[in-house]
Amino acid sequence: MIFLGIETSCDETAASIVRRTDDGHGSVLSNVVHAQIAEHTPFGGVVPEIAARAHVERLDGVVARALADAAVTLSDIDGIAVTAGPGLIGGLVVGLMHAKALALATGRPLFAVNHLEGHALTARLTDGVAFPYLLLLVSGGHSQIVAVEGVGRYRRLATTIDDALGEAFDKTAKLLGLGFPGGPAVERAAKAGDAARFRFPPPMMGDARLAFSFSGLKTALRQKAEALAPLSDQDVADLCAAFQTAVSASVADRMSRAVDLFRGQHPDIQRPALVAAGGVAANGVVRSALQTIAGDHGFHFVAPPLALCGDNGAMIAWAGLERAALGFPSCALDVAPRARWPLDDVSAPVFGAGKKGAKA
Ligand code: KG4
Ligand code: ZN
């Protein structure tokens, strides 16, 4: 089966063609991502209305290129998968309407995919990881530890009580004048930094609650930066290095609890996978901290290639393929986008719930 996947939930306009063979093997035939960097850079962050308009302008060209790169036409496609949430509603509407039009025109089934499920299942596309596995999902909007039991079966073990990890990277970058997008800029700056010059306490270290928190670290960094101002390039590099050190120690501490919890819940699995996903999974320091935790606890570490860490259409196509292969029904053409859509509908919301459902 060959699916087209479309992703427009934030600031990447993305489309991809992915094949899944009957034995469950996946291959990415094309993966086109237009990151809206030029559009948002003047504002230092993603502006939802500008993102939605940029998706309108770019999406048909991105889809056409994904088809051309894979050397297929719409008539070769067996199904269309599209991100229907969670995310910025304007972008979601653009992607979903585009996918509905293609589904109607081609007569192919439509699969409305949860963006977080796309991230969660990527390791099965790239590495064929078997269920169940332990997932750390760290992106601009989410920081979650999830037990992935099967397609559509997710148990959230932890989330953040304030900022997401990617958000903390982005805010740090903005504060230090490193621009947008922040995560890669902080990582780049930190390479020239001395991680021992400043020390920020790693958030939640040793805390019995399995949760993340990053806003205190952000405040500590701001206070230090204000005390040092004006900042030299070396100051910025050293602050970034100290920030990354604190973040990775915090993630390692939280994950070492999570691996024990997961082991207790699945004592029969020999060498479970610890999987990283989401944009922050591209960070080398976070990756190596996770690698160490996995090695120390008898897990094997799996992280997607960098191109599949951030938002992309391949993960959405793959989630649709996994659903189709299991016989999950496709969606009616009146399916609605969902700005909020928790991966795990069962665990209690941490930020409370509004009219549109759980906030996280
Ligand atoms: O998964 P993603 O592309 O979009 C969301 O679903 O949010 O993640 C984007 C986030 C941004 O906050 C970005 O700064 C962060 O991932 N990020 C990184 C790195 N690359 C992207 N954070 C730290 N280090 C990186 N190398
Ligand atoms: Zn994402």
Residue 38 CB contacts under 8 Å (≥ 6 apart), including other chains: none
Ligand 1: nearest atom to the Cα of 277: 1
Q: CA of 272: how far to CAs of 22, 25, 34, 47, 299, in Å? A: 24, 19, 35, 40, 5
Band (pLDDT 50/70/90 cuts) for residue 44 is confident
Band (pLDDT 50/70/90 cuts) for residue 179 is confident
With a pLDDT cut of 90, the percent of the chain lying above it is 93
Which amino acid would we find at residue 48?
P
Q: For residue range 295-321, what is the model confidence (pLDDT) as tens digits?
A: 999 999 999 999 999 999 999 999 999
- Please report the pLDDT score of residue 360 as a whole number: 47
> Is 318 within 8 Å of 20 (Cβ atoms)?
yes
Start-end of CATH 3.30.420.40 domains in the chain:
2-121+308-358, 130-306
Ligand 1 pocket residue status of 182, Cβ below 6 Å: yes
Ligand 1 pocket residue status of 187, Cβ below 6 Å: yes
Ligand 1: nearest atom to the Cα of 182: 14
Out of 117, 139, 165, 170, mutate this one to test ligand 1's pocket (max ligand atoms within 8 Å of CB): namely: 139
State in Å: Cα 148 to ligand 2 middle: 17
CA distance 285 to 258: 19
Ligand 1 pocket residue status of 86, Cβ below 6 Å: no
Nearest C-alpha to atom 19 of ligand 1 is from which residue? 183
Mean pLDDT of the chain: 95
Band (pLDDT 50/70/90 cuts) for residue 349 is low
Ligand 1 pocket residue status of 310, Cβ below 6 Å: yes
Helix (H), strand (E), coil (C) string for 299-315: CEEECCCHHHCCCCCHH
pTM of the model: 0.94
CA distance 220 to 201: 9
State in Å: Cα 267 to ligand 1 middle: 33
Q: What 8-state DSSP symbol labels residue 230?
A: S
Ligand 1 pocket residue status of 139, Cβ below 6 Å: yes
Q: Looking at the domain 130-306, which fold is it?
A: Nucleotidyltransferase; domain 5 (3.30.420)
- CA 241 to chain CA centroid, Å, is 23
State in Å: Cα 198 to ligand 2 middle: 31
Q: For residue range 110-122, what is the model confidence (pLDDT) as tens digits?
A: 999 999 999 999 9
Helix, strand, coil: what percent of the chain each, to 5? 45, 20, 35
Which numbered ligand comes closest to the C-alpha of 138?
1
**CATH placement of domain 2-121+308-358:** 3.30.420.40
- Please report the pLDDT score of residue 344 as a whole number: 87
Q: At what angle do helices 314-325 and 115-127 cross, to 10 degrees?
A: 80
H/E element, 115 = helix 115-127
Q: Is 174 left (phi over 0), alpha (psi -120 to 50) or beta?
A: alpha
